[in-house]
Structure 1
Amino acid sequence: MSYHRWILRGKRKNLQCQYKDYLSDFKEWDQKLHAKGWFIFPQNINSKLSIDETALSKGELYTIITNKKAKGKKGSIVAIFSGTKVEPIIAQLLKIPASKRGRVKEITLDMANSMKTIVRKSFPKAIQVTDRFHVQKLTFEALQDIRIKHRWEVIDMENEQIKQARLKQKIFRPEIFQNVDPRKQLLARSRYLFYKAPSNWTENQYGRSKTLFEQYPDIGIQHH
């Protein structure tokens, strides 16, 4: 490290210390002692909240409760907890006066039992609303599971047909659909259909979906 860079690094560190120790209110912060474990801001509680888990840094999970009406702006954070263990989170939330927790009428959450337990015990008057994103994700995963199951069936079927063709000294030619996809490729390429809404499909994707749903009605039913 050069001398000038060493001096600059020292000045930057001194500036950070000056801000933390003198310019900011860090020393008087009422949540400093437990800041590594949890933050709670009861003043941000509103009638509609959200609770979810997310990885903020180094893959560590945090449980976050937010005020939906704040829409990500000032006053959005109601609580942040390190980890996802139910009992410690409930223990801290119950320290919020019951009158404040009773104001919550609706909480959006995923379908994890841990989240449901936290909401039921900490905000007993709130209606639990399943997050649409998680419902869509489960539907998408179910569609992909069905598609993959059919693709493996086709692979096994084609392998057997290739084997039989060789025994008869013939060339195996797979069935080709009107959209120019053989059956195996139809199922492989269709995975991209589920990443976006039908209104955003290209002409080729629309043709592929029509063939896919005709050949595999169970995928079509699940998609619609």
Structure 2
Amino acid sequence: MQFANTIDFAERETFFVEVVLPLSLAINYTYRVPFELNDRIAVGKRVVVQFGKHKIYTALVKSIGKQPPELYEAKYIIDVVDDYPVITEKQFQFWDWITSYYLANEGDVMAAALPTGLKLASETILVLRDELPTEVTLTEKESLIIDVLHKQQRISIDNVIELLGQKTVYPIVNSLIDKEVIYIAEEVIEKYKPLLKTFLKLNPFYKEEENLKELFSVLERA
């Protein structure tokens, strides 16, 4: 795969990005870049995208181009999360080798390789730290999130989107994580399914040898 190292964004052009989602998908998907985000987009940065009808994820930009997808209409990316790339081109090349060698999906590799804090999704749970920094400056929207967390201890990014009335909440969440005010809760749900086996039990009547012989005789004639 060819990566775009430098792109001239001086003109008003339409760009499309191939992104890696932290999901077990057979292919990567292409999204359209809004004009106002042209100068912020770069390979290796995280972007906020909608996948499906309601799910919001942070995906990684793997390549940038001007060719739209042929089989579907590209959705717009919602926002750019990072000021600088969090993944290098060499790391992407290494991921490509892993997917080829182990026959894995790139989203699975991303999910395993990135720390939890870099894989924000709409279901991600935010938790208020027990010990808060003594001196920290919060914006109005950050303070609103913290006020809610003081009351209910945890909140999902879906709830934050609803609370603030906007989809571009990931930079705000990242800021709170960087300020060490909140952290990401990894919830592990243990699903136990008992292994059931079927056994046949002989009626006590047939424990007598004569009765058992009679049973076998009946079965042979059946």
Q: Do the structures match in fold with TM over 0.5?
A: no
Asked which structure has the greater RCO (Cα within 8 Å, sep 6+), the reply is 2
* More helix as a share of residues: 1
